[in-house]
Structure 1
Amino acid sequence: MPATAAPARDGGLLAVHAHPDDETLATGALLASWAAAGRPVAVVTCTRGERGEVIDTPSHPTGLARLEGDGPALAAHRETELAAALAALGGAPGVVGHTFLDAVDTSEARVTAPSPATAGRRFEDSGMAWVAPGVAGPAHHAPATAFARVPLDDAAARLATVVRARRPAVVATYEEQGGYGHPDHVRTHAVTVRALALAADPDAPVDGEPWGGAELWRAVAPSTALRAGRRALAAAPAARDLAARAGLTFPDPDEPLPPLARHDAELRDAGPRDVVPVDAAAVLDRVLAAMRAHATQVQHATRASAVEAPDSGLLGWYALSNAVLAPIPVREHYLVSPDLHRATSRRAGRR
C-alpha cells in the first residue's frame, strides 16, 4: 500500500485489541483511513481495562481519580470513552463496528465447552508492571479472572466466530510481544493467530462458513523513525513548554526500544508486499479526537505545527499515565504475516 489514507486491499478490516484506547494508540490511523474510504471496519476489544490507571492532574483534570481501583466503575466509564473514540475514528457513530470478545455468542458454535473458570463471566484486564522504560511485564498479582489466564481456545473460538461472520480482508493486532510487553497484548496476539487458524480450517469446531482470506497485520515501527520522532519531539518548543508546565518528561531516543520496533533492514528485507505503511497525516484530526475521548488514559494529545516540526516526521504528541511524552509519527507500519496468509489460503482452498 502506498503511504496514503486509501486502503489497497479489497474487503473489510477487523482490529483486535486488549483494552479500550489500544485501538486508537496502536491502529488509529489504519482504522480511520479505512473508515474514511467507506470500507467495512470493526474492532474487537478483549477487556474493558478494569485495572488501568486514571489520569487526573492539575494540567489534565478529569475529576475521575475515584475510579482507579474500582474495577466495575472504571470498566463502565471506559466503555463510554471507547464508544466516543470509535465514533471519532469513523467520522460518525456506528461507522466502526465493535464488540467485546466476552460478549460474542458461541452458543450455536460447535466449540469445546468453555472451561468452568471462564463460562459466563467477563474477560478482565490482567494488569501489568513496568519492567524497563516503555516495557511492561505481568502484574505481580494477576487476578484469577485475568484475560491472560483465559484458555487460549476459549477466547480464540469467540474471535474465530467474528472472523467467519465478518470475513475481513485484514485482521490487525500487535506483534508477538504485544508492542510493549503487556500480558494482555501478548495474549491478544496469540488469540488472534489461533482464531485465524480456526476460522480458516473447515474441520475446526467453529460455527459459520470457513474464512481463510484474511491477512494478519502486526503493528510495528521502524527503529530509525521511532528514534528520530523522539528527537524531534524533544526539540519542539511547544512540547518543551508543555513538559515544563505539566511535569512531563521525554523518552530517551538512545534507550532500548520496545518490542514493536524493527530494524530498518528487517523491514526492507521483508519486501514491499509484506510491510504496509499507513499515512497518519491524512486522518490526524480523527486520531487526535479519539485520543482525547480516552481522557482517563491519554493526556495532552496535541498537533505539532509546521513551524515547530518542519519535515521531521512528527505530527504531534501525547502522554499516558506515566507522564512521558510520546511522538505521533507521520506513518503507522504493519508487518504482514505471509506464511500465515499462505497457510490459511491453502487450507481454505481444500474445502
Structure 2
Amino acid sequence: MTGPAAPGPAVHVQVPAGDGGLLAVHAHPDDETLATGALLASWAAAGRPVAVVTCTRGERGEVIDTPSHPTGLARLEGAGGALAAHRETELVAALAALGGGPGVVAHAFLDAVDVPDTRPTGVRPASDTRFEDSGMTWVAPGVAGPADDAPATAFARVALDDAAARLAAVLRDRRPAVVATYEERGGYGHPDHVRAHDVAVRALALAADPDAPVPGEPWGRAALWRAVTPSAALRSARRELAAAPAAADLAARTGLTFPDPDEDLPPLAHHDGELADGVARAVDVAPVLDRVLGAMRAHATQVQHATPASQEGAGAGLLGWYALSNGVLAPVLAHEHYLVSRPARSGVAARRAPVGSPR
C-alpha cells in the first residue's frame, strides 16, 4: 500500500515489511482514532495484526449534545461510571470501523491486565485496580494541563511501574513490531496522554529485560512510533479549512469556529527540520479516510461533524474536518506523521532501573 510522498523530509511508509504487528497505547476512548486512526486502519487493511490498549475509560470527558449534534446523552457528563460504560460501547464501534469489521482490532483496557506484584501480596487481581480519567484544564489555546481535582485513582497518579508492567506483559504476549503512542508531551498536554507515553517507554524497557518480573518471554524488537504533526502542514491545513466553502457553511449553521493558523501550536507540532530522514514516518490518510471518519462518528459523545472535504474548494493537504466539545473545527490532514525510535533489543538498559525502584 503506497501513495504520494509526504510533504517535507518525512520518509513515506504505510506498512513496514515483516510479520510483526502494531500495538497502539492510548489514554482514553477516541484517542486511538484521533491520534493514530489512519495507522491502525492501514495495518488492518493490509491484514497485519493490530491491537489497542486503552488506559482509562474516559470517565471525566465532556459530552457533546447540541442542536446540530444531538446525542441525547448530556446527562452522562459528570456521571462517572455511566459515561465510562457508554464510551466503552463507542470504542467497540470505532475499532470495528477502523478494522473494517468487528474483532479485527484486538483491544484491552490496561487495568484489566494481571501481572505479578512486586509486593509481598503476590498477584494483584485486575478487578482490584481501576485506572480512571485524570481530567484536565485548558491552559492555552489547544494546550491542556492537570486538573486540580484529579481523583486518587487517576491514571496520571498511578505508579509508573504498576502500569508499565501490565503493558510489558501485553508486549511480551503480542510481540509487536511497532508500538504507537503520543510524543513525550502528550500531543496537547493532557496529563493522561503524557503518562501513557511514559508508560509505553517504560514498558518497552521492561518487556526487553529478561530479569523483569513480567510474564512471558522477553521482547525487545518493537520500535516506538510517537504521533506528531509537521507545523507547516498543520498551519496550511487550517488555512485550507477556513477557505473551504462547505466548512464555512457548517460553521455558519452551527456556531462552530475556526482555529487561528497563526497561533502557537500544541506540542505535537514539530518543525520540518525535526522530522529528518530515518526519524519520521508518514502514513497516507486518503486510502482509509472512510474508516477514520466512521470511527470518529462512532465516538459521538466526543466528536462532532466528522465530514470529508469535497474535491472542489479543498486544498491538497485537507481531507476533511471535525470538531470536539470545544466547538473548534479541526482539519483532517492528508498524512499522519510519527517520530520513530529504534527497538530496545537488549535488556541492559532496562536492568538499570528494576521494577519497583523509585522514579
TM-score range with shorter-chain normalisation?
A: over 0.9
Tell me by how many angstroms 1:8 deviates. 3.6
User: What SS is found at the alignment partner of 1:209?
Assistant: coil
Does residue 302 (structure 1) correspond to residue 311 (structure 2)? The answer is no
Kindly report which structure 2 residues correspond to 1:242-281, keeping only aligned pairs within 5 A, or say none: 242-268=250-276, 271=277, 273-281=278-286
Tell me by how many angstroms 1:105 deviates. 1.8
Could you give the per-residue CA deviations for residues 309-340 of structure 1, whole angstroms, max 9, x where no partner exists?
143x10000000000000000000000013xx
Could you give the per-residue CA deviations for residues 32-82 of structure 1, whole angstroms, max 9, x where no partner exists?
000000000000000000000000000000000000010000000000000
Give the Cα–Cα distance (whole angstroms) in 2 for the partners of residues 119 and 7 of structure 1: 37
When residues 238 and 214 of structure 1 are mapped into structure 2, their CA distance, relative to the original with a 3 A threshold, is same
Match of 1:189 in 2: 197
Tell me by how many angstroms 1:145 deviates. 1.2
Match of 1:345 in 2: 345
Match of 1:317 in 2: 321
Match of 2:186 in 1: 178
Match of 2:211 in 1: 203
Tell me by how many angstroms 1:197 deviates. 0.3
Give the Cα–Cα distance (whole angstroms) in 2 for the partners of residues 6 and 229 of structure 1: 25
When residues 243 and 9 of structure 1 are mapped into structure 2, their CA distance, relative to the original with a 3 A threshold, is farther
Tell me by how many angstroms 1:288 deviates. 0.3
Match of 1:33 in 2: 42
When residues 185 and 74 of structure 1 are mapped into structure 2, their CA distance, relative to the original with a 3 A threshold, is same
What is the TM-score of this pair, normalised by structure 2?
Answer: 0.91
Match of 1:89 in 2: 98
Give the Cα–Cα distance (whole angstroms) in 2 for the partners of residues 110 and 147 of structure 1: 18
CA contact (8 A) 1:87 1:95 kept: yes
Match of 1:234 in 2: 242
Which of 218, 226, 229 is residue 218 of structure 1 equivalent to? Answer: 226
Give the Cα–Cα distance (whole angstroms) in 2 for the partners of residues 43 and 238 of structure 1: 34
Tell me by how many angstroms 1:110 deviates. 6.3
CA contact (8 A) 1:318 1:326 kept: yes
The amino acid across from 2:339 in the alignment is L
When residues 291 and 203 of structure 1 are mapped into structure 2, their CA distance, relative to the original with a 3 A threshold, is same
RMSD: 2.1
CA contact (8 A) 1:36 1:91 kept: yes
Give the Cα–Cα distance (whole angstroms) in 2 for the partners of residues 85 and 308 of structure 1: 29
User: What SS is found at the alignment partner of 2:291?
Assistant: helix
Give the Cα–Cα distance (whole angstroms) in 1 for the partners of residues 247 and 292 of structure 2: 18
The amino acid across from 2:88 in the alignment is E
Kindly report which structure 2 residues correspond to 1:322-333, keeping only aligned pairs within 5 A, or say none: 322-333=326-337
CA contact (8 A) 1:7 1:34 kept: no
Kindly tell me the number of residue pairs found equivalent between the two proteins.
Answer: 340
Tell me by how many angstroms 1:121 deviates. 2.4
The amino acid across from 2:322 in the alignment is Y
Aligned-pair identity in percent equals: 76
CA contact (8 A) 2:180 2:224 kept: yes
Give the Cα–Cα distance (whole angstroms) in 2 for the partners of residues 114 and 44 of structure 1: 24
Tell me by how many angstroms 1:207 deviates. 1.2
Give the Cα–Cα distance (whole angstroms) in 1 for the partners of residues 231 and 336 of structure 2: 12
When residues 210 and 349 of structure 1 are mapped into structure 2, their CA distance, relative to the original with a 3 A threshold, is farther
Match of 2:52 in 1: 43
CA contact (8 A) 2:225 2:341 kept: yes
The amino acid across from 2:267 in the alignment is P
Does residue 335 (structure 1) correspond to residue 343 (structure 2)? The answer is no
What is the TM-score of this pair, normalised by structure 1?
Answer: 0.93
Which of 4, 14, 21 is residue 12 of structure 1 equivalent to? Answer: 21
Give the Cα–Cα distance (whole angstroms) in 1 for the partners of residues 12 and 313 of structure 2: 23
Give the Cα–Cα distance (whole angstroms) in 1 for the partners of residues 122 and 191 of structure 2: 21
Gaps of 5+ in 1: none
